[in-house]
Chains A and B, each alone.
Chain A
Amino acid sequence: MKKLHTNLPKVPCWRYGKHLQPILLAMFLLLSPILAYGQVATVTGTITDDTGDPLPGVNIVLKGTSSGTLTDINGNYSLDVPDENAVLIFSYIGFTTAEVIVGTQSVIDFALVPDVTALDEIVVIGYGTTKKTDLTGAVGTLSGESIYQRQTIKAAEALQGTMPGVTVTRTDGRPGADPVIRIRGTTSIGNSNPLVLIDGVPSSLNNINPKDIESISVLKDGASASIYGSRAAAGVILVTTKRARSGELEVDYTYEYVSRKPTRLPNNVGAQDYMQFINERNWNDAGNMGSEFPTYDEALIANYPSSHAQDPDSYPNTDYSTFFSDYVPSQRHLISFKGGTESVSSLVSMSYNKNDGFSDNHSYETFTIRNNNDITFNKILSAHLDFNYQNSYEKRENGYPMLNLMRRSPLGLAFWSDGRAANTAFRSDMAKHRLGGTNKTSIDEIRGRFKLDLKPVKGLVISGMVSPSFNFVRGKTHAKAVPIYDLGNPSSVGFASAAATTKVTETRNNSNTMLTQFLANYSYTLAEDHSFSLLGGYENYSVFAEGLTASRDGYVLSNFPYLNLGPLDLRDNSGSANESVLRSYFGRLSYGFKGKYLVQVNARYDGSSRFHQDYRWGLFPSISAGWVASNEPFMEGLQAVSFLKLRASLGSLGNERIGNYPYQSTIAFSNALIYSGTTPTSFQTAFIPQYAVQDISWESTESWDIGLDANFLNNSLQVTVDYFKKTTRDMLLRLEIPRYVGLSNPNQNAGEMYTKGWEFGVLYGNSIGGLQYTVSANIFDSKSIMGDLKGTQFLGNKVKLEGSKFNEWYGYRTDGLFQTQEEVDNSVTLRASTKPGDIKYLDIGGPGGVPDGFINEDDLTLLGGSLPRYQYGGNISLAYKNFDLSIIFQGVGKVNSYKPLHMVIPDHYGVPDFVYGNTWSSYNNAEKNKQAPYPIGGEAGRSHNYKTSDYWLFNGSYFRLKNVIMGYSIPSQIIEKTGMKDLRVYVNLSDLFSIDNRLPGWDPEQDPFSRGYFITKAYILSISAKF
């Protein structure tokens, strides 16, 4: 059976797309008159790929003639040849075209070699497809196979490191966590998530079965994306799903087993060191007066190891990592069926994926079904009927158990040695996580897509599409009361904090979307030199969402998580609803002259219900042009250059994602208690929470791009370079207004932002003997500077203000730690109680910019951008006979990272092992204190030393080995008897190691501000069989 890419070196290439060519060719050939010469012989044979799988539909032409044939479903062909000198040309998309002299052979079996440098690739673009060579914008493509091969839980994760300009960030290792995708950096202060369309319908990459993906196109520049107008500012990701072809019949089953483990875990010191440090800390707070054992007395600390050994309940020394599994398993089953006749072809696929979590009460499952059908009524009319269903189910514990690893005292005790939840001080939340019930979320998404294509005349395709989707989110939080016990007391003495009652909360959120679309596509070629393509379309997209939450508290029984069993007097419920509509008209005109000069013009006109009717409509035009220099006569002599194209584009894009009714000041409802007579009674209250700006409208991004595609050495070396600039205007942002206005910050069209960047991608593929290899690498950089914002926006320790970078760190400049009291006395300090060992902030500003002898708001300054720079990725792929190997890496060249308080502060919640012994201390000599990387311990210094400052910034660049994937195809001789066509075994090692400068225990990708799960590494074994 045909296997298009399975055995290609697994390249993060942006080249494999949707292949229409064979079908067109086949039709052409079927219609052309077959000229008969004097036939002397018949040649038969089987065409296979390099792994021995038969290839159906391979085009076989007798060289110098128009006669030829196609291989059948089993790869067999039969062709009459005139004489022994005849030459057969075997061609098939994705494989190198081969010529074979017939000679005396009557049976010619041939294995085609995959062509890693295919140029005829068809690329999916907005509302259509084009040949890669004809592209005038910046579009990155990726085959579904290379996405699946990464075997990630979420398809989006597999984009990491694959193409320049596409950044995927994991911040959280929770199996259900969605990674963040950015295209060419940040475009807007608001929503910078790219628009994801699956077969033309707005959707998300989160729950799609990666094996259903045929290809992904990423529209990166303004010209490519502007056909999507108001939602395209942050880029567009087009996903095309697999479809069956006529003549195909295949069943494919894959099983994966995955074992996951956190890449790193933070560690705190044990009980003795902890108590020692807390004493020092509190002694510091008392001005180093009084006892040096203010909290834990001397004898207790000295005897602790033996006390702990004798009575671990009274003298705990808890290592929280013991509450988490070392490795957790997950598995995935994927099965698909493809079959097609001339008039109907159908694909059905199912996947099931189950992941366990690192703690009890945590798991994540997904189930997907997809059915894509194509019906050809006649030459004029065809229909496409797709259906898919996705379910994800996540079960989580109440709270964030992993926090216990970061911020818990070793003196905390979750359970007594007899297993009952303990009532100790500093007790961890583990009892709550283990016994406190669960929080379950199940998401069902059902989507249909019906598309009718009408081809009334040559070159014209008129399509109508209707695609409804129904999304149901069901949540059930069953928070159980967790009774806690004292030692030796059989009855409960209270409840774990925030787990005092049993409560059931049910949420139901459903949303429906409806997309209706009308498209007319006309292409025409005039005198072979002038090719025109014209597209016109209309689209209407509506969203309706409503939700409700209901709860009852104070359940007597803890095992019946249903509302009907709860008490009547602790009931609560709420509801919400919203709707929005987007209506659009769009068009595109493409013109090409002799395949050398290419011009494309796009425009889209969008109206959104989110804006006031006077500010509702926006026009988003774009123009792009390409010059294929290698098609010019003067380039013909340059053998080394096989393809050279220059591209330039300019386009305008929009963003409207700012809530549903931003121009209206809405009245929000809440409740307050007032006595009615002598009974506290709840009254509904009304208030305006947010300041509203009525003339709010689109934000627009103008972007231009200059690019170069060059192939050398017979296309074996391919280079793509792009330089781009984006200007975002009327940015929809929530500017800080004075808090004394008493309303929350409004959305308004206020800001400007300038982004500049470049991308570079290179690929080299060749073969030596039987070894095929491909090496590719990409790098991307962008920098965003804020223009006039008509104000400032703060985000904790980051800021956006005119002239700053996007989300730039904002804080004090520092000069190490104060070493002596004398130094403190002679310096300007932030507060009177500053002591030696505290961070020394610099007085750099004051009214008028002159240092004024105070450290205050005037001394806050920009400390450098927080966004990653020089993001790179790469891939080395090798294939030899039945073996293949891919090595994928990814990294960030430069980033200002921050060590937030909870990573570095030593306090009652735990003393990080890398901080212990490295703080400034009164016990140290002056020399040692000069080397101390961490400030003096103490509550007094807490708010002082951990203010945002350059003291806590560090270089967060990293290099990460993402995947090492080894595959082996069992030789067909061995499996033949079983009826299998193909049997492959994969081993995938993901996130094996990284080189970085992080604090011990912290993964370079882990968001230090998140409370989530730790990033995991995975060992994956998979077996795939085809029948």
Chain B
Amino acid sequence: MKSKIIFFLSIGILFNSCDDLDLNPLSEGSSATWYSSDQEIRMSLDYLYDLKFWEPNPTQTSIINPRWLDSFSDDLTSRNNLNTMTNGSLDGNSRYVVEQWDFLYQAIAAANLIIEKLENTNSAIAESNVNQYIGEARFVRAVMYSKLIFHWGDVPYIDRTVNIDEAFSLGRTDKDQILQTAFADFNFAADNLPVSHGGVQYATKGAALALKARFALYMGEYAVARDAAKAVMDLGAYELNPDFEEQFLSKTKFSSESIFLIPRSAALNVNMAFWGTIYEPLSRIKGAAYVQPSWDLFSSFLCTDGLPIDQSPLYNPRKPFENRDPRLTATIVEHGTQFGYWKYEPHPDTLTVVHMETGLVQPNTNNRAVLQWGSFNGTAWRKGIDLDWYGDHLTDPDHVIIRLADVMLVYAEAMIELNTIDQSVLDAMNNVRARAYKGGAYPVIAATNQTELRTILRTERRMEMAFEAKRYADIIRWRLADKVLNATDYGLLDPEELREKVVQPGLWFFPGVPPIDENGSADFTALYGQGLIKLLSARSFDASKHYLWPIPSKELLINTNMTNNPGY
């Protein structure tokens, strides 16, 4: 019967359509077979170069400072706003704390897996390659642990893959112990990584030594820092960029001064688009460029005679950019000079500016007399920012993790702290300073007294490294944070008052010279007392706890072996 034929036919179709139940991922790799060839190891190692591990601001959902560590320091001010760190409310849920913790450990896990696979499997990978691969992974692991112990002190230490039960049984390992393993990792990397690569620019011997030097210094291991820094300088593989300003611009790619960096590329969709609006110089997007250099940083730059502003006869508070270390105008926009398409002028009587290309006269919106939320302290960032930041914001400067000038100052500082001051210390510092003066006459550092030289070093470091996310670590390790992060931040008076009390009496720009202390910090309280400047914000830092960050709350809530840092 026909119907029966159809019926059995359909039954046949049904049973033939049985699908295989053993299915494997189609568009992802399987971990069972991975890590067995050079290519697979290379791809796994390349993951460690992801920018997120090196400059973590992955979510980009709110306007926070990309150089976010700077926003925790006394170098930055953003109108009269503070943040979680500067208003003293840091806790185990603070975004920076949680994100840093997560990213550092993610990189460690990825590095551990590679090391473990390479050490434990007899694969087809050549012995020489194995050591270089392990070197790269151990380099990254060392950097991540160094950052962890610097911010948190004792942290859980993992150097292999762990199962869940093992993970829960872990507590915190002594930071000194971790530091030693990090040094071992750095040493292995330095021994096994080449000084330079022919093709793809992976981490080098220099990178391992330079970052070892940095973290050794941060952790007070001055002799280690000295030796590593000296080893970098002796490699001869790096040289200072002759033009300080150019070093930081987006057009400067792979500078010979940069020891380790992660590139950005607008063409490859890695850019600073989101952050561009925040720093856009003299922003016409009114009020967006609100992250500004603080007056404290402004005042810390020395005069061309090498003296701080309160001692130098060359300093004129009415013309605060004159006779200053050239790095001042390379870092902070000098009033009346071109920046972007306009002249930068926060003077309350400069109500219009002229667009330099179109000739169009426009309201000077960076001036609070024109716009209420113009610059609150009359400063703007210049370092690294040029016309490339305009318009589409697809700016792609290198993310430089460490550069030669930093290493030279690390060397000098380590030597000063060891009190083994010799000509090499002065040479290192003078070379850095001389470069800023582009080979011209500069105030040569000649002091040999430890205390005196320490002050000079700290000021030099602040001038050289401003806006490179180094200041926060410096004030933490110098134990200056409880002083400078409890300081008050000042700015310009409101326009009418400003005209009346500062401009008309001829006191523009700074109505006086603040005293500078031995750490290079300016004290504006007297000027505030005279009613000549405005209080913007009062920072708050609790020395009893804020020198270390809190352990992320979730770690404490799920794991009874975890303890928090004191005070949290």
Using CB atoms and an 8 Å cutoff, list the residues of chain A in contact with chain B.
282, 285-287, 289-291, 293-297, 299-300, 314, 377-378, 380-381, 423-427, 452, 454, 462, 464, 466, 481, 484, 486-491, 493-495, 497-498, 500-501, 514, 516-518, 538, 540, 542, 546, 553-554, 569-570, 572, 575-581, 583, 607-609, 613, 616, 660-661, 664-678, 680-688, 691-692, 736-743, 746, 791-792, 794, 830-833, 854, 856-857, 860, 939-940, 942-944, 947
A738→B555 contact, CB < 8 A:
yes
Does A289 contact B34, Cβ atoms closer than 8 Å?
no
* B18 in contact with A540 (CB, 8 Å): yes
What is the bound-complex CA distance between A551 and B549, given in angstroms? 41
User: What is the bound-complex CA distance between A481 and B392, given in angstroms?
Assistant: 9
Contacts of A742 in B (CB 8 A): 105-110, 112, 158
Contact between chains at B10 and A464 (CB < 8 Å): yes
Q: Tell me, yes or no, whether B274 is within 8 Å of chain A by CB.
A: yes
| Residue of B10, B40, B80, B552 touching A295 (CB-CB under 8 A) | B80
| B194 CB, nearest partner CB in chain A, Å | 15
Considering only residues 314-366 of chain B, those with a C-beta below 8 Å from chain A are: 355, 358, 360, 362-363, 365
Measured in the bound complex, the distance between the Cα atoms of B22 and A608 in whole Å is: 9
Contact partner of A687 (CB less than 8 A), chosen from B23, B47, B80, B202, is: B47
8 shortest interchain CB distances as A-B pairs:
A742-B109, A425-B287, A667-B29, A290-B535, A680-B263, A685-B47, A680-B265, A665-B31
Q: A481-B392, A739-B555 are in contact. Are A581 and B156 (CB under 8 A)?
A: no
Which chain B positions have C-beta within 8 A of A488?
360, 362-363
Whether B554 pairs with A739 at a CB distance below 8 angstroms is: yes
Q: Which residues of B contact A791 (CB under 8 A)?
A: 558
| Partner among B108, B391, B540, B564 whose Cβ is within 8 Å of the Cβ of A500 | B391
B224 within 8 A of A: no
Complex contact B3–A381 (CB within 8 A) = yes
A464 touches B496 (CB 8 A): no
Could you say which residues of chain A place their CB within 8 Å of the CB of B47?
A: 670, 672, 685-687
Quick one: closest A residue to B277, CB to CB? A497
Residue of B nearest to A607 (CB): B21
Chain A residues with CB under 8 Å of B555's CB are 738-740
User: 20 interchain pairs (CB within 8 A)?
Assistant: A285-B87, A297-B496, A487-B363, A489-B355, A495-B393, A607-B21, A664-B24, A667-B28, A667-B31, A668-B29, A669-B43, A672-B46, A675-B201, A685-B43, A686-B43, A688-B109, A688-B110, A742-B110, A746-B164, A943-B93
In the complex, what residues of A have CB within 8 A of residue B22's CB? 609, 613
In the bound complex, residues from chain B placing their C-beta under 8 Å from that of A739 are 98, 101-102, 105, 552, 554-555
**Are B23's CB and A666's CB within 8 A?**
no
**Contact across chains for B50 and A685 when beta carbons are under 8 A apart:** yes
- In contact, B286 and A740 (Cβ under 8 angstroms): no
Distance between A665 CB and nearest chain B CB, rounded to angstroms? 4
With A514-B17, A738-B558 in contact, is A940–B105 under 8 Å at CB? no
Closest residue of A by beta carbon distance from B288: A425
C-alpha gap A730/B235 in the complex (Å): 59
Complex contacts, A668 vs chain B, CB 8 Å: 28-29
Give CA–CA (A575, B155) in the complex, Å. 39
Q: B127 in the interface, Cβ–Cβ < 8 Å?
A: no
Complex Cα gap A569–B396 (Å): 14
Separation of A765 and B513 alpha carbons in the complex (Å): 91
The answer to whether A738 and B109 have CB atoms under 8 Å apart is no
Decide yes or no whether B451 CB sits under 8 A from chain A: no
B442 within 8 A of A: no
Interface centre among B32, B51, B87, B273 (most CB of A within 10 A): B87
Interface centre among B3, B15, B21, B261 (most CB of A within 10 A): B21
Contact call A378/B3, Cβ cutoff below 8 A: yes
Bound Cα distance from A378 to B31, whole angstroms? 57
Asked if B537 and A286 make an inter-chain contact with CB atoms under 8 angstroms apart, the answer reads yes
- CB of A673 to closest CB in B, whole Å: 5
Closest residue to B82 on the A side, CB-wise? Answer: A939
1/0 contact trace for B238-258 toward A, CB 8 Å? 000000000000000110000
With a cutoff of 8 Å between Cβ atoms, the chain A residues found around residue B495 in the complex are 297
Chain A residue nearest to B556 in the complex (CB): A857
- Asked if A741 and B162 make an inter-chain contact with CB atoms under 8 angstroms apart, the answer reads yes
| Bound form: Cα–Cα A677–B253 in Å | 11
What's the least CB distance linking A726 to chain B, in Å?
A: 26
Q: Name the residue on A nearest B112 (C-beta).
A: A742
Q: Which residue of B lies closest to A377 (CB)?
A: B3
Q: Tell me if B128 is interfacial: C-beta within 8 Å of chain A.
A: no
B269 at the binding interface (Cβ < 8 Å):
yes
Q: Does B542 contact A (CB under 8 A)?
A: yes
Residues of A within 8 A of B31 (CB): 664-667, 688, 692
Answer whether A831 and B200 are a contact pair too, CB < 8 Å, given A466-B10, A486-B362, A667-B31: no
Q: Which residues of B contact A484 (CB under 8 A)?
A: 285
Interface centre among A282, A466, A667, A943 (most CB of B within 10 A): A667
**CA gap between A291 and B415 in the complex, in Å:** 47
A616, closest chain B residue (CB): B21
Residues in chain B near residue A676, CB distance under 8 A? 199-201
Q: Determine the chain A residues whose CB is within 8 A of the CB of B10 once the complex forms.
A: 452, 464, 466
Least Cβ distance of B227 to chain A in Å? 28
Of A673, A736, A738, A746, the residue contacting B170 (CB under 8 A) is: A738
Q: How far in angstroms is the closest Cβ of chain B from A54? A: 36
Is B189 interfacial (CB-CB < 8 Å)?
no
Least distance between A852 CB and chain B CB atoms (Å): 12
| Contact present for B265 and A669 (CB under 8 Å) | no
Contacting A at CB under 8 A, from B71-100, are: 79-82, 84, 87-89, 91-94, 98
Q: Whole-angstrom distance between the alpha carbons of A23 and B291 in the complex?
A: 79
Rounded to whole angstroms, the CA-CA distance of A697 and B371 in the bound complex is: 63
Q: State which residues 22-70 of B face A: CB under 8 Å.
A: 22-32, 34, 40, 43-44, 46-51
Output the least CB separation between B560 and chain A (Å): 10
Say yes or no: is B234 at the interface (Cβ < 8 Å to chain A): no
Contacts of B110 in A (CB 8 A): 687-688, 742
Q: Which residues in A have their C-beta under 8 angstroms from that of B372? A: 295-297, 300
> A673 touches which one: B32, B44, B265 (CB < 8 A)?
B265
Report whether B273 and A500 are in contact in the complex, using a CB–CB cutoff of 8 Å: yes
Within 8 Å CB of A570, what residues of B?
Answer: 266-267, 269
Residue of A nearest to B287 (CB): A425
Report A-chain residues with C-beta under 8 Å of the C-beta of B441. none
Chain A residue nearest in CB terms to B494? A297
**Of all chain B residues, which has the CB nearest A947?**
B93
Chain A nearest Cβ from B14, distance in angstroms: 5
Known interface pairs A423-B286, A494-B391, A666-B31; A680-B268 also in contact (CB < 8 Å): yes
Q: Is the pair B23, A581 in contact by a Cβ cutoff of 8 Å?
A: yes
Say yes or no: A832 contacts B542, CB within 8 Å.
yes
Q: Of A377, A500, A518, A854, which contacts B11 at CB under 8 A?
A: A518
Residues A577 and B3 in contact, CB atoms below 8 Å apart: no
B536 interface hit (Cβ, 8 Å): yes
Most chain B CB atoms below 10 A, which of A287, A677, A742, A940: A742
B168 within 8 A of A: yes
Is B167 part of the contact surface with A, judged by Cβ < 8 Å?
yes
Instruction: List B contacts of A466 (CB < 8 A).
Output: 10, 13-14, 17
| B113 lies within 8 A of chain A by Cβ | yes
Confirm or deny: B6 has a beta carbon within 8 angstroms of a beta carbon on chain A: yes
Instruction: Given A680-B265, A831-B88, A939-B81, verify A685-B24 contact (CB < 8 Å).
Output: no
* Contact of B109 with A289 in the complex, beta carbons under 8 Å: no
Chain A hits for B106, CB < 8 A: 742-743
Q: Is B437 an interface residue (CB 8 A)?
A: no
Identify which of residues 203-249 in chain B touch chain A, using a CB-to-CB cut-off of 8 Å.
none
In contact, A831 and B363 (Cβ under 8 angstroms) = no
Which chain A positions have C-beta within 8 A of B105?
739-742
CB neighbours (8 Å) of B80 from chain A are 282, 285-286, 294-295
Please report the C-alpha to C-alpha distance between residue A300 and residue B373 in the assembled complex, in whole angstroms.
Answer: 12
- The residue that A738 contacts in the complex, of B87, B168, B373, with Cβ under 8 A, is B168
Q: In the complex, are the beta carbons of A833 and B89 less than 8 A apart?
A: yes
> Which chain B positions have C-beta within 8 A of A669?
28-29, 43
The verdict on B264 contacting chain A, using a C-beta distance below 8 Å, is: yes
CB 8 Å contact bits of B407-446 with A (1 = contact, 0 = none): 0000000000000000000000000000000000000000
